[in-house]
Amino acid sequence: MIKPPVLQPGDTVGLISPASPVHEHGDVTEEELQRGIECLKTLGFQVRLGKHAREVRGYFAGTDQARTDDLHAMFADKTIRAILCIQGGYGTPRLLPYLDFNLIRANPKVLMGYSDLTALNVAIHQQAGLVTFHGPTVGYDMAQEFIYTKQWFERAVMRREPIGEIKNPDDGPEIVSLSSGRVTGRLIGGNLSLLIATLGTPYEVDTTGAVVFLEDVDELPYRFDRMLTHFALAGKLRDAAGIVIGECVDCVPKDAKKPSLTLTEILDDLVRSLNKPVLYGVCCGHGKKKVTLPYGVQATLDADACRLVIEEAAVE
């Protein structure tokens, strides 16, 4: 496993759009991108945008080749110390067949994103051996209230020490235990929809012996149920040492007249019976406040104490 160098004030970070475009009618506007850039500057970073970062091709930020070229250029550029994604959205899996894992392995640096960017994080972590980061995007998260999220960003990539115990904000959801037990293993996971999309491909997630975290957003309960069942049928829950269900925003019934299970009932059906530790409610999803979780480092899940502790530093 390769750890990227620690980030320090004065470093240059590169911004890319591997998925959806910056657009006045999209999830991230130019104004929001600029607010995110200003946030990075207050942390002491210099900022450089990828050549194609503002391109628009339908629901993509440019062609597959253009988006891949930006990622490769950022890894190859010795003056760039981290690569941050402007937003998620849709389209990252289309880049996976074109990735140069040898280039990435030879030029380790922080790569961060979540949601659609799960596909990029998992593929690069597993194929290149690099610790990647499930964490905030520039145009969506850093453009909003950033105090809590900033704390965990800094602990993950700006300090050569373990992140330690993950704690939700005071106004966040309560972390609860769904099944007892205590395990230690490498941390892996991300957005459930994207993990499902890569099953059966060379880039599917390996959960063997891992502490697996899962989250999603705006999915009707039956859709979440179907995806989690698929994940279970693929053996991914069976192979895991323990499971963390993150904050699943708006995964609720939309029509009160239609019969539905709740997310808690789905989890009761599908994860309680696994006889392994399970936590629910960690702020690692699409909420406005989120922690940064590094892929591949050792973590301890203590469901009896409702604790998730990152035991290993993610940068060096």
Please report, for the domain that includes residue 130, its CATH number.
3.40.50.10740
Domain end position, chosen among 144, 176, 208: 144
Residue 42 lies in a domain: yes
Residues 92 and 225 both lie in one domain: no
Is-catalytic flag, 38?
Answer: no
Residue 3 lies in a domain: no
Together in a domain, 304 and 175: yes
Give the domain-ending residue among 144, 175, 209.
Answer: 144
Residue 292: inside a domain, yes or no?
A: yes
Do 119 and 203 lie in one domain? The reply is no
Q: Does residue 136 sit in the same domain as residue 215?
A: no
Which residues, 6 or more positions from 36, have their beta carbon under 8 angstroms from its beta carbon? 86, 137, 138, 139, 140, 141, 142, 143
* 160 backbone dihedrals φ, ψ, rounded to 5°: -90, 55
Total domain count, the chain: 2
Phi/psi zone of residue 238: left (φ > 0), alpha (ψ -120 to 50 degrees), beta?
A: alpha
Q: Which of 32, 179, 193, 215 is catalytic?
A: 215
The predicted pLDDT at position 130 comes to 98
Taking the CA atoms of residue 224, residue 168, residue 117 and residue 191 in that order, the dihedral angle to the nearest 10 degrees is: -20
115 is catalytic: yes
Active site residue 125: no
Alpha-carbon distance of 66 to 62, in angstroms, equals 6
Domain that holds residue 245: 164-310
Within a domain: 150:
no
Pair (187, 268) in one structural domain: yes
**Is there a domain that residue 52 lies in?**
yes
Residues 230, 134 share a domain: no
Annotated catalytic residue within 134, 193, 286, 312: 286
Q: Does 4 reside within a domain?
A: no
> Are 299 and 169 in a shared domain?
yes
* Domain CATH code at residue 255: 3.50.30.60
Of 110, 144, 178, which marks where a domain is finished? Answer: 144
Does one domain contain both 90 and 169? no
Under a CB-based contact definition with an 8 Å cutoff, are residues 178 and 263 in contact? no
Return per-residue pLDDT of the chain as tens, 316 residues. 999 999 999 999 999 999 999 999 999 999 999 999 999 999 999 999 999 999 999 999 999 999 999 999 999 999 999 999 999 999 999 999 999 999 999 999 999 999 999 999 999 999 999 999 999 999 999 988 789 999 999 999 999 999 999 999 999 999 999 999 999 999 999 999 999 999 999 999 999 999 999 999 999 999 999 999 999 999 999 999 999 999 999 999 998 889 999 999 999 999 988 999 999 999 999 999 999 999 999 999 999 999 999 999 999 9
Backbone angles phi, psi at 297, to 5 degrees: -85, 160
Does 5 fall in a domain? Answer: no
For residue 146, the model assigns a pLDDT of 84
pLDDT at 144: 85
CA 118 to chain centre: 5
Residue whose C-alpha is closest to residue 12's, from 52, 37, 46 = 46
DSSP track, the chain: -BPPPPP-TT-EEEEE-SSSPP-TTSSS-HHHHHHHHHHHHHTT-EEEE-TTTT--BTTBSS-HHHHHHHHHHHHH-TTEEEEEES--SS-GGGGGGG--HHHHHHS--EEEE-GGGHHHHHHHHHHH-B--EE---TTTTTTS--HHHHHHHHHHHS-SS--EE----TTSPPPEEEE--EEEEEEEEEEHHHHHHTTTSTT----TT-EEEEE-BS--HHHHHHHHHHHHHTTHHHH-SEEEEE--BT-S-S-TTS----HHHHHHHHTGGG-S-EEEEES-SSSSS---EETTSEEEEETTTTEEEE-S-S--
pLDDT of residue 273: 86
Q: Are residues 176 and 110 in the same domain?
A: no
What is the rounded distance in angstroms from the CA atom of residue 144 to the CA atom of residue 44?
A: 18
**Do 49 and 95 reside in the same domain of the chain?**
yes
Q: What number of residues does the chain have?
A: 316
- Same structural domain, 238 and 275: yes
Q: Active-site residue among 17, 20, 32, 115?
A: 115
- The answer to whether residue 7 sits within a structural domain is no
Residues 212 and 280 in one domain: yes
